[in-house]
Amino acid sequence: MAVHSEHLGTTHPDDGTRLCLIALTERLSHFLVMTFLALHLNERRGYSEAEALSLCGLYGGVVYVSAIGGGWLADRLNQHRRAVQLGALLLALGYLALAQLWVPIALALAVLTAGHGLFKPSLSVLFGRLRGRSGEDRFRLLYLMVNLGAAAAPFVAQSSLSAVGRTAPFYLAAALSVVAVLTRLQADGTSSEAASADRAASSSKRPLSALGIMVLCLLVVVFFAAFQQTEGALIFWARDRTDRSLFGAEVPTLWLSSLPAVCVLLTAAPLTAFWSQLSRRGLATTPQVKLRAGLLVSALAFGLFAVVAQQIGPGGKAAMLWLVLFNIPMSVAELCVAPVAMAFVHSISPGRRQGLGMGLWFLLVAVGNWLSGQLGGLSTARSGVWTWGMWALLAIALLLSWLLSLVALPESRSTS
C-alpha cells in the first residue's frame, strides 16, 4: 500500500536541464571506466577473465547496496542536492585513485562506492520530483541520459586510450565528475499543489499487495542479472567470439560495448509512439503490460543468443550482426522494465523517505548485478555446455519470470 508524506519536495523547474547535465556527465564518466574496467583488471592488474568479471559484478553490487545508506543520510539531512555534489566529488577522487597502479584496487573501489552511495539515490529522488511529467516519463528521461552517456563512453574511451594512454579514461572520468560537482542546483523546495497532484496520480492506481511487491522485487533481480551481461560477459564475447572485421579493418572491442546504449537511444522514440498508438486504440498500456513485455522480449533475446552460441561452438566466432540483433530487443526490454519499476518504487516511498526508497531500488539492482557477475564467469568457459548454457539459463529464468508476472501482478489503470 502506498504511503505519502503530507509535503512532498519538488524539483525547481530550472533544474531539469541541470539534472540532465549532471546525469549525463556522471554516467559518461561511469561508463568510461566500466567499459574498460574488466579489461583493465585482466590486462594490467593480472586478474583472470572470470576473476575480473566476478570483481566487476561484486563492485557493481556493493555500489548499489551503498545507495541505501546514502539515501537514508540524504533523507535524514534533507540535503539531496548536496549529496549529489559530494558524491560526485568522491567519484572524481576514486577515478584518480583507480588510475594509479600503486593504489590498492580495494581502496579505489571503496571511494567510488561511497560516491555512488551518495549520488545515485539522491539524483533519482530529484528526477522523481520533476514537475510537469508523469512518473514513468521522469525516469525515462533519466534513463535516456544514462544511455546517452553509455553510448558515447566507448568511443571517448577508445579515442583517449589511443591519444593519451591507458590511464586516460580514468583521468577523463574524474574531470567529468568535477562538472557534476560544479553544476549548481536550486534549493530544495516544497509545493502543496505539486504534492496534491502526485497524491492524486498515485491514488488513481491500484496498489500492489505485499505479495505483488515481493514478486516485483524478484522480477527486477532476475531481469538485471540477465541485462547486466551487456556490461560484463558480452564485452568478452565481443572481444573473443565475434568476427570484428569490417571493410578490411577490425572494429575495437570498446566500440561494440556501446551497442546496448545506442540501441536504447534508437528505440526509445519508436517504443513511446507504439505505446501511445495502443493507448489511442483503447488497448491496455498499464505498467504491468509493459513489464511483462520487457520480460518476454528479453527471454526471446537470450534464447536466440543461446542458439547462436551453441551453433558456432567453443572455438567459433559469430558475426557482429548477432550482437545488434541481441541488443535491439534488450533495449526495448530495458525501457519497458526499468523506468516502470523505478516509478513504482518512487510512488510508494513516503515523501521524507524517498532517498531510502530509491536506495532499496538500487539494492534490488545490486543483487542482480552480483548474480550477473557470478553467471558471467560461466560464459568464459572454452569448452563444454557453459559456452552457450549460461545464455539459455537466463532465457529460461526470464521466461519463468514472465509467467509469474501473469499470475501475481494485478492490472491497474494506464499511466501512459
Burial class (CB in 10 A: 0-12, 13-18, 19+), 179: middle
| Main-chain dihedrals φ then ψ at residue 318, nearest 5 degrees | -95, 155
Contacts of 86 (CB under 8 A, 6+ apart): 118
Angle between helices 320-348 and 233-240 (to 10 degrees): 170
pLDDT at 185: 66
| Mean of pLDDT over the chain | 80
**19-183+208-408 fold:** Growth Hormone; Chain: A; (1.20.1250)
d(CA 262, CA 149): 10
Cell of 134: 508523469
Residue pLDDT, tens place only, 242-272? 888 888 888 887 778 788 888 999 999 999 8
Could you tell me the pLDDT band of residue 381, with boundaries at 50, 70 and 90? low
Contact 368, 221 (CB under 8 A): yes
pLDDT at 112: 95
pLDDT at 4: 36
pLDDT exceeds 60 at position 192: no
Contact 120, 356 (CB under 8 A): no
Could you tell me the pLDDT band of residue 333, with boundaries at 50, 70 and 90? very high
Residue pLDDT, tens place only, 39-65? 788 888 878 877 887 788 788 778 888
Q: Domain map of the chain by residue range? A: 19-183+208-408
Residue pLDDT, tens place only, 128-175? 877 656 667 788 888 888 888 888 887 787 787 777 777 788 899 999
